[in-house]
Structure 1
Amino acid sequence: MPQSLSQRQCRELAARIRTWAGELGFQAVGISPADVGAHADHLDRWLDSGSHGDMQWMRDRAALRRDPSLLVPGVQRIITLRMDYLPPAAADPWPILADRARAYVSRYALGRDYHKLLRRRIQQLARRIEAEIGPFGYRAFTDSAPVLEKALAEQAGLGWIGKHTNLLAREAGSWFFLGELFTDLPLPVDDPVDAHCGSCTACLDICPTRAFRGPYDLDARRCISYLTIEHQGAIPEPLRPLMGNRIYGCDDCQLVCPWNRFAALSVEPDFAVRHGLDAAALIELFAWDEPTFLDRTAGMAIRRIGHARWLRNIAVALGNGHASAEALAALGRRSDHPSPLVREHVAWARQRLIAASKRAGE
């Protein structure tokens, strides 16, 4: 346990924490009570509606999300940290989305997996605090535990949750990662900020699969990020044509958000684009065998979906693309893939391209 700290010492420590966090590469810091507020009720309603799809782990561990003290007993304050991730020198997203021969990968996944990087930096921050005041109770998280991180970030004044359910900051938009340091320190808390979405519905209107039932109400079962990353089974056929060439995640609701004109490019070398995945050809990526996939995606978030789902997603994108001889040949080479999941989506894509080719010849 830490030594007893006066209010003045806590204020001074909070100021130093902000300085140290900046030195460690974080762009913003906020401190909140260990309370998610009204977001607990919103989580319950969202789960009760089945919007989490087959992410059963969200329901199983919902109590820990609602009450941070169940996750970390004795927690008093939560330090939330923001790190911008928009990769420098990445291809302009809109031309890639419009090019049916190329693959679109969510901007957050183009570089190194953020989990280890952020967690290591947060641990370094904790050690600096410990060197200053002595041992104290803490745990660091980066999307690695049942933490309602956007709610905590909102409580900490780092921004507001927009209609697309992402956290928005006036000075940074939404292209950033969040991490948390749960502490037993009685630090002064920051005030939440007002929401500034106004009457704008650009994020809701752009969604290719109409995953939003309304503002702040996302049905993950229709979300392309869920379908391409979290969903392990077959992608529902009615949604496949709506996915376009998005093979890992979807950024549309962020791309149209007016606040993202203030977003800054990341200064982290680890978030730079790897293997040309910001503008890669679908046929090229579809040709990766499993060893190649594992080698090229080493250290990246993409690796977690595995080779079969990688091929599943690309098959759908090819089926939404040009009915070229090259695309049909690429699909044909995967028609006897060992995975039934891959074979099903390859067959769907081939039938779709063959039908398109016949219509073009009429």
Structure 2
Amino acid sequence: MTPLSHPAFMQHFLLMIMMIFGLGCATVQADTTDNALHISGYIEAYYQRDFNRPGNNRRPDFIYSHSRADEPSINLALVQATYNTDKFRANLGIATGTYMRANYAAEPGLLNNLYEANIGLKLSDQHDLWLDVGVMPSHIGFESAIGKDNWTVTRSLVAENSPYFETGAKLTYTTADGKWLVSGLLLNGWQRIQRADGNTTPAFGHQLTYKPNDKVTINSSSFIGNDKSDRERQMRYFHNLYGQFTLNRAWSLIAALDLGAEQATKDSASYHNWFAPVVIVRYTVSDKLSLAARAEYYQDKHGVIVSTSNSNGFRTFGYSANVDYAITPNLLWRTEIRKFDSPDAIFIKGNESMASTNFTALTSLAISF
């Protein structure tokens, strides 16, 4: 077990983060012109109708955000402190909600409420070069846990089935003109705070982002590592590629593709593959009103990421449309309809039946401060 994944290390690390913010508060109190410390919050409440009416009120197992149906729920309630100076930065976020319960289920104790906890140090006076260590948002994908920052209400299948968060160390360099960002990462695993039991091997990742102007973003991210014990070791290789484009004042587009492969068994020369494309189109009517539509597909025939009880694995098309209305700058009302289609009956219907389609309608209200 390496220091980053040791329980005692995590306890000391969290204590250090809290001490840093305590010093930050003292600094702000001592000098009211110092804006280094910022406290923010976010709450998203939702109600989702699943027309299959699953008896357990749960969405399918491959859905981790907005994971409850037919009952009023809080997806994410987050309080976050951020401390930024020219040479130092730190973040601490504590959260609860159905998102946290679904995504942090493997983490023990208070760690399953730890949205974010990291510190960063600028390594150069001449260049924008940073080293960050701790629990951080994932470097993979274009969607995050904070719904207001995403074009659609629910998350795409590529986001739901790749890491939302990660723990480790990240070295990041951004060019002076802001057009290129490159990161190298040493990680504890695939969406983990602590490593899997019996795992002594680190995982690795990269991120490369190109922004030639404010209308185009192209991003490449990867993960390489074993997310099981050493005894069961199966190497996983994963890559996410996406492009985000502002076509004109009204229309915007995101296109993304996930590709993954994992060893069929330990020391095997054969691999189980999966892939998932998604396209989202957004139309901005005004500063308050926007519309979005999404089409996606996910194929994981061997159940590496999404397991099913049928022999054909997971093969699902998804479609959604949503309307967003900003009641005030910090209060967002959203509605969405979404449908999944599969050639196999993989969706729970009622208490015992299974269906090949799944249709939902969701409304949410998000406030940020």
Q: Normalising TM by the smaller chain, what interval?
A: under 0.3
> Which protein is richer in strand relative to its size?
2
Say which structure, 1 or 2, has more relative contact order (CA 8 Å, 6+ apart). 1
What TM-score do the two structures reach when normalised by structure 2? 0.23
Q: Which has the larger radius of gyration?
A: 1
TM-score (ref. length: structure 1): 0.24
